A and B are shown apart, each in its own frame.
Chain A
Amino acid sequence: MRRRKKKQKKKFRPVRYAPTPVLGAADRHMVSRFSYGTTPELVREVQSAGGGLAWFEQQLATAYADPAGDAAIGDWWPDLHRDAATLWKRQQDEVRAVWEVMSDYSCRLMVRRMTSPHQVLERMTEFFEAHLHVPVNGDKQGVWRASYGDVIRRHALGRFDEMLVEAITHPSMLLFLDQAVSTKKAPNENLGRELLELHTVGVGHYTEDDVKASARILTGYRVDVWRTWAATYKPEDHWTGPVRVGDFVDANAAADGRDLVRRYLVHLAHHPQTAQRLARKLAVKFVRDDPPQALVDRLARTYLQHDTAIVPVLRELVRSVEFKGSRGVKLRDPSEDLVATYRALSATVRKPQRREDAANAMLWQSTVIGLAPMTWPRPDGQPLDNQAWATPARALASMDIHWSLAGGWWPKTGVDYLQPTDWVPELPMRFAPLVDHLSRRILGRPSTRGILKAASTAVGVKPTEEITADHPLMRWHFNRLLGSFLDNPLHYGR
């Protein structure tokens, strides 16, 4: 028995394939949290930057260096440039519905995440677009939604107070949370409440009277719904009189409340509880589901000391011991899973010509796994923790999507997949080093005994077997081999 085990051990000893570069564990950890998944280009980029931290700094320094170039990435859906009135008219004329345009929006986000060289900017755009969440589903907010995304992107590595002022008063947000139809006679509480609960101080740090005052402060913004969609400010709809929200007190005597709103939002952005809430969310997203309070406190302090600037907080986060100690504990959410899978497979998505082309089909793929970008139906934004995505349905759905991509079966068009001969660095070669090469490419790390065993079992090939061009693996089973990497627990983590 013992001898058999020893023999087994030897049988599945991994063999190195050194020519395929990988990052060290710390650098890999950095990019797995702050990029959308490994690619050979990313590995080279990190190596030439001089490591993960240097790469991160480079990303911060160049995030806004080429806005025109960034805007061109995935700029394949012309309807995203149309204004609200035009989109609405086209829906009325039955040319194209708003929800279809919003599908374009989710797809463009995924293509940007997949291909943008500014990975950290994409990550932070996603984070704040979810924090100040306006779902793309819904005609009201949909007609204004693309420009809302631009606002978030512009501030995602800037200052939160500036982002908050622009986001909360943007027509898309006003429409989503009913502020655009609120009046002084009976102020609608929807935005006033979520501003406090979700966007700033958080539950437990405001009262019901605060909610009412918050709703009153925000009155006056109007959108001409279901007609021109023009956004205006109407002093006659603004509630005047003294207001108090926590320690924010104002006489609110002016008919035009816009400056009041600006002061109110800046106040909330600088509130210590807002700092706590944002710091915690950042730590949950980028460190672990149960971040130590000490880390949250440090991040919150940095945020306040730097007048709500986001970059100093991120710099502190990536240098923390808590960050370094959190390798492998975060689960990819559905769209992260999908984008990382395309990247791991070096599948190149092209400008779509048809509905079923990859750039469009990705929407359905991420929906199948659990959620397409920005389609979370509630105002709290999609969950950042593991639990929400650690469901049986998600597990089966991810395996399904991985399998179809490994085989190149769906989507079939608008994408270039690598062929088996592209995956094999040399021929003939033995199976074990091939597995090591694939592990480096797809999982970003050398193979282990477990990886080799799983691969060997998946295709019924022994580690020492020689793979030639007409080996059954190359002719029939390569998808099964790729599948064993995409369904490795490591590919599900980030």
Chain B
Amino acid sequence: MTTSPLPRTSASGSDDCSCPEFRGADLSRRGFLRGLGLAGATMTVGSAVVTVGPSAPAAASGGSNVLVVLSMRGAADGLSLVVPHGDPVYYRARPRIAIPADRLVAKDGFFGLHPALSPLLPLWQQGRMGAVHATGLAVPNRSHFAAMEAVEDATPGSSERVGWLNRLIGDMPGTSPLQAVAVGSAPPSLYGPQPWMGFDRLDEVGVAGDDQWDPTDDRLRSLGKMWQRSRSPLAPALRSAMAAVEEIGPAQAQQQRSDNFPKSDLGKALSAVSRTIRGDIGASVITVDQGDWDMHSDLGTLEWGRMQRNADDFARSVAAFFEDLGPAADRVTLVTVSEFGRRVVENNNYGLDHGWGNVMFLFGAGVKGGYRGTWAGLGDGHDADLTVTTDYRSVLSEVVRTRTTVSTATVFPQFSPERVGAMAGV
């Protein structure tokens, strides 16, 4: 049999590994696992980051502010969620799917909320819920995929795929992968050189085989030998995960109160997010997704359809989340992002095709309640859009500026935010 040497790019075994052994040596199990996670951080950014300090103990950053980013996938119709009942075009453009003004909640002279958002009214009335309308990308982009990429990278003109949340955690003190946690599917906004952690089910986070039948940690040491120096594309993530496993216990120990949440994917995810925050494991950024907002058909009315269903799920999940957080809610800010909005004029299928401007919701700590945004007036041509008057990065910049110590210039390079007033103290 012939065998040729592995090429440089291949994932090879750790032949000449001088990996630290933790058993019988000077490294504790925890130190060993953390070291693996750190290997991930230095591995991916290269030798430039030799100054990376020792991993900050997760508990030290406990009690800090948390930013939760909820992505509404598929491009939610902001005009159904926050209805501009004061704009006469709205009712003309949507003869069948417009929401009657007398059914709106939290109504002022111009805007009102979809009645399915009623579970959020307590937050609204306490001034802990804001809505910024007519936000989005500076230029229309009607491709789900290109728009999502643009929104999540937030660096127009750059071909480098690094998400804005990865830049955000990159500028925070500490290197624990638990600084950023994706619950459910991992958004590209997290992609990049900084390590992060993700899971679907909090209780199942662990390394299979690392159990009571392995008192000498043979399994972990064997994995360490294979992965510590591996160049496999999976290696940084696997090392982050192993490092995180050891630190995530306090979150797993938090009481599960998922009965108070909707049984939906979003409800389950936010229940896990709440436990992660209550567990004080040092998570500063948490992402969560809600899908099925791409309503070309059957967006429907108040009586039937996909909008009332998804809006109801969204509202009940977010309301339950803030309730469930208890005192921890004081340090949690949740913001929603969707790749673009939908057309002003309804199509023939009780639905809406791809548009432009959208609404962003903000909840919780530091949020200035109420409606905001600049209204350019709706057009009612067949392909009229809600014109974007506020770059979505201006909204996110205010959140970053007021809730973290990170410079917005790092997170949103070459961007000068405009004042929105969505957060207190800006």
Which residues of A come within 8 Å of B, CB atoms? 18, 21-26, 177-178, 181-183, 185-186, 188-190, 193, 197-198, 203, 208, 211-212, 325-331, 368, 377-380, 386-387, 389-397, 399-400, 402-404, 445-446, 448-451, 453-455, 457-460, 480, 483-484, 487-490, 492-493
- Do the beta carbons of B353 and A188 come within 8 Å of each other? yes
| B200 interfacial by beta-carbon distance below 8 Å | yes
Q: How far is the CA of A488 from the CA of B206 in the complex (A)?
A: 18
Closest partner residue, chain B, to A458 (CB atom): B222
Q: Are B296 and A178 in contact (CB under 8 A)?
A: yes
The answer to whether B146 and A203 touch across the interface, beta carbons within 8 angstroms, is: yes
Q: Which residue of A lies closest to B196 (CB)?
A: A392
20 A-B residue contacts at CB 8 Å?
A22-B3, A177-B296, A178-B297, A181-B297, A188-B296, A188-B348, A188-B351, A190-B296, A193-B354, A212-B383, A329-B10, A331-B232, A396-B204, A396-B207, A399-B207, A446-B1, A450-B13, A453-B225, A458-B222, A489-B230
Chain A CB within 10 Å — which of B209, B230, B235, B240 has the most? B209
Bound-state Cα–Cα, A211 to B355, Å? 13
Which residues of the other chain, B, contact A325 by a CB distance below 8 angstroms? 7
The 4 closest A-B pairs by CB, nearest first: A450-B13, A328-B10, A403-B208, A392-B241
On whether the beta carbons of B186 and A391 are closer than 8 Å, the reply is yes
Give CA–CA (A394, B143) in the complex, Å.
Answer: 27
The count of chain B contact residues (Cβ–Cβ below 8 Å) is: 72
By the criterion CB–CB under 8 Å, are A390 and B219 in contact?
A: no
Cβ-neighbour of A208 out of B10, B17, B383 (below 8 A): B383
Residues of B within 8 A of A (CB): 1-4, 6-7, 9-17, 73-74, 142-146, 161, 177, 182, 186, 191, 196-200, 204-209, 214, 216, 218-219, 221-223, 225-227, 230, 232-238, 240-241, 244-245, 291-292, 296-297, 347-349, 351, 353-354, 382-383
8 Å CB contact of B3 from A198, A400, A402, A446: A446
Bound-state Cα–Cα, A114 to B200, Å: 27
Q: Is the CB of A449 within 8 A of B13?
A: yes
CA A392 to CA B216, docked complex, whole Å: 24
* Residue numbers in A under 8 Å from B227 (CB-CB): 489
Q: Would you call B13 and A404 a contact (CB within 8 A)?
A: no
Given A188-B348, A331-B233, A392:B4 Cβ within 8 A:
no
Assess the A489–B226 pair: CB atoms within 8 A: yes
Decide if B144 touches A450 in the complex (CB within 8 Å): no
Contacts of B161 in A (CB 8 A): 387
B351 touches A450 (CB 8 A): no
Interface contact B207-A490, CB-CB below 8 Å? no
Give Cα distance in the complex from A489 to B297, angstroms: 44
Q: A178-B349, A189-B354, A399-B207 are in contact. Are A454 and B225 (CB under 8 A)?
A: yes
CA of A394 to CA of B74, assembled, Å: 23
Which of B145, B177, B235 is A203 in contact with, Cβ under 8 Å? B145
Do B348 and A396 touch across chains, with their CB atoms under 8 A apart? no
B208 close to A400 (CB less than 8 A): yes
Q: Which residues of A contact B9 (CB under 8 A)?
A: 326-329
A177–B74 Cα distance when bound, in Å, is 13
Which chain B residue has the least Cβ–Cβ distance from A379? Answer: B144
- Say whether A489 contacts B225, CB under 8 Å: no
Q: Which residues of A contact B200 (CB under 8 A)?
A: 368, 393, 397
Partner of B222, one of A188, A329, A403, A484: A484
Instruction: Return B291 CB to nearest CB of chain A, in Å.
Output: 6
Which A residues are CB-close (under 8 A) to B351? 178, 188
Contact B353 A190 (CB under 8 A): yes
- Whether B241 lies near A396 (C-beta < 8 A) is yes
Q: Which residues of A contact B74 (CB under 8 A)?
A: 378
Which residues of A have CB within 8 Å of B15? 448-450
B10 and A188 contact, CB distance less than 8 A: no
Contact partners of B10 in chain A: CB under 8 A: 327-329, 493
Given that A392-B198, A395-B238 are known contacts, is A203 also in contact with B296, CB under 8 Å in the complex? Answer: no
Contact B237 A492 (CB under 8 A): no
Q: Report the minimal beta-carbon distance from A113 to chain B, rounded to whole angstroms.
A: 21
Neighbouring A residues of B221 by C-beta, 8 Å: 457
Give complex CA distance A142, B240 in Å: 38
Separation of A480 and B207 alpha carbons in the complex (Å): 13
Contacts of A457 in B (CB 8 A): 218, 221-222, 225
Least CB separation from A196: chain B residue: B143
Provide the residues of chain B in CB contact with A330, threshold 8 Å: 233
Minimum CB–CB distance from B323 to chain A (whole Å) comes to 27
Contact A189-B296, Cβ < 8 Å, known A212-B383, A393-B182: yes
Q: Are B6 and A327 closer than 8 Å at their CB atoms?
A: yes
Q: Which residue of A lies closest to B198 (CB)?
A: A393
Q: Using known A-B contacts A203-B143, A327-B7, A392-B196, determine if residue A459 contacts B218 with beta carbons closer than 8 Å.
A: yes
Q: Specify the chain B residue showing the minimal Cβ separation from A181.
A: B349
Chain B residues contacting A455 (CB-CB under 8 Å) are 222
Contact B219 A480 (CB under 8 A): yes
Does B218 lie within 8 Å of A480, measured CB to CB? Answer: yes
* Complex CA distance for A374 and B338, rounded to whole angstroms: 24
Docked Cα-Cα span, A324 to B257, in Å, equals: 53
Chain A residues whose C-beta falls within 8 Å of the C-beta of B182 in the assembled complex: 391, 393
Contact A387 B232, CB 8 Å, known A24-B1, A188-B297: no
Known contacts A392-B198, A490-B13; can you find 10 more A-B pairs with CB under 8 A?
Answer: A182-B349, A193-B142, A208-B383, A328-B7, A387-B233, A392-B238, A393-B198, A458-B219, A489-B11, A490-B11
Specify the chain A residue showing the minimal Cβ separation from B177: A392
- A449 — which chain B residues lie within 8 A by C-beta? 13, 15-16
Cβ 8 A contact of A393, one of B17, B142, B186, B353: B186
CA distance A25 to B353 in the complex (A): 50
CB distance from A385 to the nearest CB of B (A): 9
Q: How far is the CA of A188 from the CA of B296 in the complex (A)?
A: 7
Given that A328-B9, A391-B186, A394-B234 are contacting pairs, would A183 and B4 also be in contact in the complex, using a CB cutoff of 8 Å? no
On chain A, the residues within 8 Å of B196 by CB distance are 392
Taking A193-B142, A394-B237, A450-B226 as contacts, is the C-beta distance between A480 and B209 under 8 angstroms? Answer: yes
> What is the bound-complex CA distance between A454 and B209, given in angstroms?
14
For residue B222, which residues in chain A have a CB less than 8 angstroms away from its CB?
454-455, 457-458, 484
Q: With A387-B191, A396-B199, A488-B13 as given contacts, are A328 and B6 in contact (CB-CB < 8 Å)?
A: yes
Alpha-carbon gap, A394 to B185, bound state (A): 10
In the complex, which residues of chain A have a beta carbon less than 8 angstroms from the beta carbon of B144? 378-380
Alpha-carbon distance between A204 and B250 when the two chains are bound, in angstroms = 48
A203 to chain B minimum Cβ distance, whole angstroms, is: 5
Taking CB atoms, residues of chain A closer than 8 Å to B291 are: 377
Residues of B close to A403: CB separation below 8 A: 208-209
For A401, the closest partner residue in chain B by CB is B208
A368 to B232, CA, bound (A): 21
Taking the nearest CB of chain A, how far is it from the CB of B369, in angstroms?
Answer: 33
Contacting residues, chain B, for A22 (C-beta < 8 A): 1, 3
Give Cα A448 to B226, complex, Å. Answer: 11
Closest A residue by C-beta to B143: A203
A residues in contact with B197, CB < 8 Å: 392
CA–CA, A126 to B119, complex, Å? 44
Q: Name the residue of chain B whose CB is nearest to the CB of A490.
A: B11
In the complex, residue of chain B having the shortest beta-carbon distance to the beta carbon of A185: B348
Hey, which chain A residues are within 8 Å of B204, CB to CB?
Answer: 396, 400
**C-alpha spacing A383/B322, complex, angstroms:** 34
Q: How far is the CA of A188 from the CA of B297 in the complex (A)?
A: 9
Contact between B237 and A454 (Cβ–Cβ < 8 Å)? no
A490–B13 CA distance with the chains assembled, in angstroms: 8
Other-chain contact of B208, A185, A193, A378, A399 (Cβ < 8 Å): A399
Report Cα–Cα, A490/B10, bound state, in Å: 9
Of B2, B17, B143, B233, most buried by chain A (CB within 10 Å of CB) is B233
Q: Say whether, besides A327-B7, A395-B241, A450 and B234 are in contact (CB < 8 Å).
A: no
Tell which of B12, B145, B186, B223 touches A487, judged by Cβ atoms closer than 8 Å: B223
Check B232 against A489 for contact (C-beta < 8 Å): yes
